[in-house]
Structure 1
Amino acid sequence: MKEVQALLFDLDNTLMDRDHTFRSFCTQFVQDILGHLEPDSAQKVVEDMIVRDADGYRDKDGFFEELSQVLPWQNPVPASDIRAYYDESYSAHGAIMKHAETVLDYCKERGYILGLVTNGKKDIQHAKIDLLGLRHYFQVIVISAEEGISKPDPEIYRLALERLGADPGKTLFIGDHPVNDIWGAGKAGMEGIWLRRNHMWDETLDIRPWKTISGLDELKNIL
């Protein structure tokens, strides 16, 4: 068994159930902004928004501009208004991933140093963390918009490691995205634990996960 001193976690679709969160947001958005639609039509719009969002890996401004053009408006809504609605309301829909709190408690009780590395806007990511009640678990929280560096740039992981005072060879990164979490962390010298969610593994990558899990509860047996 390798020696592990520290654990770095991704946020979206690792500790936060983004699938549930985004669906909840879309449902509320359609109710509030497209209330003229019949239930079946409203549900189709929700499903269409989820597909267009591409699991959050779309450029947000482009996504909102597209919505402003294609949704079945009664009165057209500009992309800037959709962005404002999103910024104001999205975080409130945050849902914690199954087993996340149990696993984080387990890790803290055993003395692991914990950190969080996430891509996203400062205010939105901080709001998610606080809504889910996760802040107290982490010695370090690194958000891309605050640092001017985004995953999978190895520098964002190195920054987190430096602030943790952790050795990359004794640190694991846990996340759901093959490139942004496993490959990027690997380039910074860490082993990765891939949480299998919505992304297929890219067989062309020159770094592979140390372990693969289907649920966070499996971390207990690994650690």
Structure 2
Amino acid sequence: MIKAVLFDLDGTLLNRDESLKRFIDIQYERLNQWVSHIPKEKYISRFIELDKRGYVWKDKVYQQLTQEFHISEITWKDLLQDYISEFKYTCVPFANLTQMLEELKSRDLLLGMITNGYGQFQMDNIIALGIEKHFDVILVSEWEGIKKPDPQIFKKALKHLKVSPKHSIFVGDHPENDVKAAQNIGMKGIWKKDFQWDNVEADSIVNDLSELPLIIENLSKQNVKSC
């Protein structure tokens, strides 16, 4: 029987691609007096390219942008601080996020989140989505000193929840850091489908978050039969 469901954040609950596009667009307008010499679409496309879907921290992104585009009257540190302070206001959830979490809680499932990233920055985004109250444990890699796919961060979350891996599910968009890493310690791994990968080996695949309650119910039944 499944007792706990744990989630990744970026690309799973938070639509990071859309959030980032919205942020860059607004940042360009907000800081227009310093970046107006750069065509807006060029600024946005280069930012997205350098960002590599969040796997490059923005200090490096802004350092590169200021060099390439000859931004001289505002520093890369100022741009980074603007990102840290303002990104939370452009957070876009995936469709049916809140309804899905409420449905799982109504079934008395424990909920957890494990996300790589900077502690306060990630917490600000979670709070911006209005979902923190649904979770029984939230671990952010900076604060924990370990990050996915390290098995210890999964084990730590499960220890908080007092649930064994075989009674737990992890939902994430990254085939290695989320799905395989969770499966490696005995959890079920559900892949939140992402265009970047194909043929991901997962216990189940979800396109829309509204599908999760039924998927989890079916996996729970399979879990009972195998016990």
1:96 aligns with 2:93: yes
Aligned to 2:126: 129
Cα distance in 2, alignment partners of residues 156 and 195 from structure 1: 20
Aligned to 2:19: 21
Partner SS for 1:192: strand
Contact 2:47-2:61 within 8 A present in 1 as well: no
Alignment match of 2:66 (pick from 65, 68, 77): 68
Partner SS for 1:95: coil
1:108 aligns with 2:105: yes
Of 43-52 and 28-37, more deviation after overlay is shown by 28-37
Deviations 1:138-196 (A, max 9, x none): 01010111111111111111110110111101100001111111122122221110011
Aligned to 1:37: 36
Aligned to 1:155: 152
Aligned to 2:204: 211
Point out where structure 1 has 5 or more consecutive residues left out of the alignment.
none
Letter aligned with residue 31 of structure 2: I
Cα distance in 2, alignment partners of residues 34 and 197 from structure 1: 33
Aligned to 2:214: 221
Moved over 4 A (4+): none
Of 86-95 and 56-65, more deviation after overlay is shown by 56-65
Partner SS for 1:16: coil
Cα distance in 2, alignment partners of residues 172 and 86 from structure 1: 33
Letter aligned with residue 37 of structure 1: S
Q: TM-score, normalising length from structure 1?
A: 0.89
Q: CA offset at residue 117 of structure 1?
A: 0.6
Point out where structure 2 has 5 or more consecutive residues left out of the alignment.
218-227
Aligned to 2:224: none
Cα distance in 2, alignment partners of residues 98 and 72 from structure 1: 39
Cα distance in 2, alignment partners of residues 68 and 157 from structure 1: 38
Cα distance in 2, alignment partners of residues 31 and 190 from structure 1: 45
Cα distance in 2, alignment partners of residues 188 and 213 from structure 1: 21
Cα distance in 1, alignment partners of residues 52 and 40 from structure 2: 19
Partner SS for 2:92: coil
| RMSD of Structure 2 on Structure 1 (CA) | 1.9
Residue correspondences, number? 215
Cα distance in 2, alignment partners of residues 63 and 184 from structure 1: 28
Cα distance in 2, alignment partners of residues 46 and 198 from structure 1: 20
Alignment match of 2:140 (pick from 122, 140, 143): 143
Q: CA offset at residue 134 of structure 1?
A: 0.5
